[in-house]
Amino acid sequence: MADIATREEYGLEFSHIHWNLKAPALYEEAIKRGEAKVSANGPLIVDTGQFTGRSPNDKFIVKDEYTENLVDWGAVNQSMDSDAFANMHAGIRAFMQDRDVFVQDLYVGSDEGYQIPVRIITQYAWHSLFARNMLIRQAPPDSPGLYTVIDMPGFRANPDRHGSATSTCVAMNLKERLVLIANTEYAGEIKKSLFSIMNFELPSKGVMPMHCSANHDEDGKVAVFFGLSGTGKTTLSADQSRTLIGDDEHGWSNAGVFNFEGGCYAKIINITPESEPEIYATTQRFGTILENIGFDDDTRTTDFTDASKTENTRAAYPISHIPNASKTGLAGHPSDIIFLTADAFGVLPPISKLTRDQALYHFLSGYTAKVAGTERGVTEPTATFSTCFGEPFLPLKPSSYAELLGRKIDQHDVRVWLVNTGWTGGAYATGERMKLSYTRAMLKAAIDGELDDVPTEQHPIFGLEMPTHCPGVPSHLLNPRNTWQNKSAYDKQALDLAKMFKENFNKFQSDVSKDIILAGPNLETILN
C-alpha cells in the first residue's frame, strides 16, 4: 500500500489504490467493473471502444528549455507548452480523487545498465494487466530516473485549457518524466509512449533503439527484424527452431541486443494453429488479453476471423507464454538485420542483400504498403513510409538514428537483407501473397550463410542484388519481374513505386551523405 507521501505526489490522497496486483486479482477487478469478459479457454476479452489503434495526431511533447533543442519538432512531434501540460495534470489529479486506481511498478529494458523504472497508474484494471504483461515484471531498481504514466480513459482533455487537438491526448513531459493519457481505451498508448521515451533517452548513451523483433539460434547468432504492422515481424521471429528475444522493441548496446519489454503484442486477425502455432497457443491461455475479437457470449468462444470491429485485433501476453522465449531478454550482436516490407504493388524482390548505404536508405524510408480493407477508405494499394520503421516514436532527428545504425553495422560487419512478404505475380487483387513457407526458407538460408556465395542479378531500377536460387524456393520467384505475365505492366509499376521512394526521400536530402541518396532507385538510367 502506498505511503502518504506517495499518495500526495500523485494526487491520490483520497483514492483507493490497488498496488501491484497480479493477474488473477486484476481479472477479478476487471470483471467486477464490467471492463472485460473471460473466454472459455481463459484469456481476458476486452473491447477498446472508439479507438482500436493509436491516435498519432493526439500525441504531444512539452517544449521547454530541456527539449527545445533536442526534439525534432513537427507534425510527428507536436509541441505543448508547460502551462497547458500543468493544467491537464491538475485536471487528471482532480479526476482521480475518490476513484479506484491501479498501480504497477515495473521497468523497461532487460539490460540493467539501461533500464528505466516506470510507475503505471491506470483507471482500468485491464490496462494494469496490459502494462504488467507488456513490461518487465520485477520491482524497479532503486535508482533515479523513474518515469510515471497516468492513464485515465475517462478523462476528457479540453483543447482550450490543455493545448490538445481534441478531447483525446497523449502528452509527454520529458523533463518531469511524466506521461498523461486521456480519453482513449486503447492500452497500446501506454506501451508506445514508453518506446518513445527509450528512443529519446538511449541514443546519447550509444544505444540504438529499434522497432524490431529479434531471435537467436542455438549458437547465439542473432537476427533482428524491422517492419511495420502486417509485414510479419512478430510471426517470423516466433520461429520454433530459434529462441525469441522479443517481438517489438529492442536496444543495441556495446554488449549486444536487449529486449525493452517483458511481453508480446501480436496481431491475431485470422490466426490459426497451423499458421502461427506458438502465438495461437497464447490465445488459449490464462493471463492473455484479447482485444476487439469476435466473441460469443453464450459459448464464451472466440472467432479470430471476425474483423467487424477492426483488422487490428491483438493479443497481449507475457513473453513467458512463448515456450522458446529467452529467459533474460539479452543476446549478442546481430549477424543479420532484416527489413520486412509487405509490398502490395508486387514490385520488390522476395529477398535481396543490401549494401551499407542501401541499408540506411531503406531504414530511413521504412516502406510497406496498405491494402484494401485494412483501413477505412483504403480501396487500392497505398504506399506507406514510416521513417526508421517507427516514425511516430522518434523524438530525435531521423538521421541521428540512421548514423547510429550505420556505425553499428560497420563495427560488427552485419549483413542486411530486404525481404518482401507481400505480393508476387502482380499487385494486390491480381497477384498472390508470398507463401510464408517460402519466406521462412529464404530467411533461414540468408541467416545460415547459404546465400553468401549464390550468384545474384541486379534489379534494374532499385539496384537490389537478387539471389538466383535459394533452397526450398522456386527460382522463378526470386526475380519479381519473372512472376508477372505482363512484363511491361511490371516495369511501369516498378517505375511508379521508385518515384514514390524518391519523393519520400526528398526530406532527407540535406541530412545524409550523397552515397546514401544514390543507394536509392535509379530513375535517371531508366528515364534516359
Q: Is 161 marked active-site?
A: no
pLDDT of residue 381: 76
pLDDT tens per residue, range 136-187: 987 665 667 899 999 999 999 999 999 999 999 999 999 999 999 999 999 9
Q: Is 248 marked active-site?
A: yes
Q: Is 234 marked active-site?
A: yes
Task: Measure the CA–CA gap between 475 and 450, rounded to whole angstroms.
Answer: 15
- Of 58, 248, 336, 343, which residue is the catalytic one? 248
CA 234 to chain centre: 9
pLDDT of residue 229: 82
**pLDDT confidence bin for 14, thresholds 50/70/90:** low
Say how many C-beta atoms besides its own lie within 10 A of residue 166's C-beta.
Answer: 14
pLDDT over 70 percentage in the chain? 95
Based on its alpha-carbon atoms, the radius of gyration of the chain, rounded to whole angstroms, reads 23
Task: Measure the CA–CA gap between 500 and 170, rounded to whole angstroms.
Answer: 31
- Of 89, 127, 233, 242, which residue is the catalytic one? 233
User: Which segment of 13-27, 278-292, 299-313, 375-389 scores lowest on mean pLDDT?
Assistant: 375-389
5, pLDDT greater than 80: no
- Of 127, 191, 267, 314, which residue is the catalytic one? 314
Q: Is 525 marked active-site?
A: no
Q: Is 513 marked active-site?
A: no
Q: Fill in the amino acid letter for 11.
A: G
Closest C-alpha among 149, 514, 115, 126 to residue 292: 126
Residue 237 to residues 211, 323, 352, 368, Cα–Cα distance (Å): 13, 13, 19, 18
- Of 148, 234, 368, 483, which residue is the catalytic one? 234
1, pLDDT greater than 60: no
pLDDT of residue 374: 43
- Of 18, 59, 89, 211, which residue is the catalytic one? 211
Contact of 163 with 81, CB cutoff 8 Å: yes
Which letter, b or e, does each residue of 455-489 get, where b requires 16 or more Cβ atoms within 10 Å of its Cβ?
eeeebebbbbbbbeebeebeeebbebbebbeeeee
Cell digits of residue 135: 513490461
Task: Measure the CA–CA gap between 148 and 359, rounded to whole angstroms.
Answer: 36
9, pLDDT greater than 80: no
**pLDDT confidence bin for 528, thresholds 50/70/90:** very low
Closest C-alpha among 246, 198, 226, 208 to residue 390: 226
Q: Fill in the amino acid letter for 342.
A: A
Label residue 413 left, alpha or beta by phi (over 0 means left) and psi (-120 to 50 means alpha).
Answer: left
pLDDT of residue 424: 97
List all residues 6 or more positions away from 328 whose beta carbon is below 8 Å from its beta carbon: 110
- Of 162, 192, 362, 370, which residue is the catalytic one? 192
Q: Is 211 marked active-site?
A: yes
- Of 54, 63, 221, 250, which residue is the catalytic one? 54
- Of 6, 167, 229, 374, which residue is the catalytic one? 229
- Strand boundaries in 50-168, DSSP class E: 59-62, 78-80, 100-108, 116-122, 147-152
Q: Distance from first CA to last CA of the chain, Å, rounded?
A: 73
Task: Measure the CA–CA gap between 188 and 265, rounded to whole angstroms.
Answer: 9
Q: Fill in the amino acid letter for 28.
A: E
pLDDT tens per residue, range 234-262: 889 988 899 999 999 999 999 999 999 99
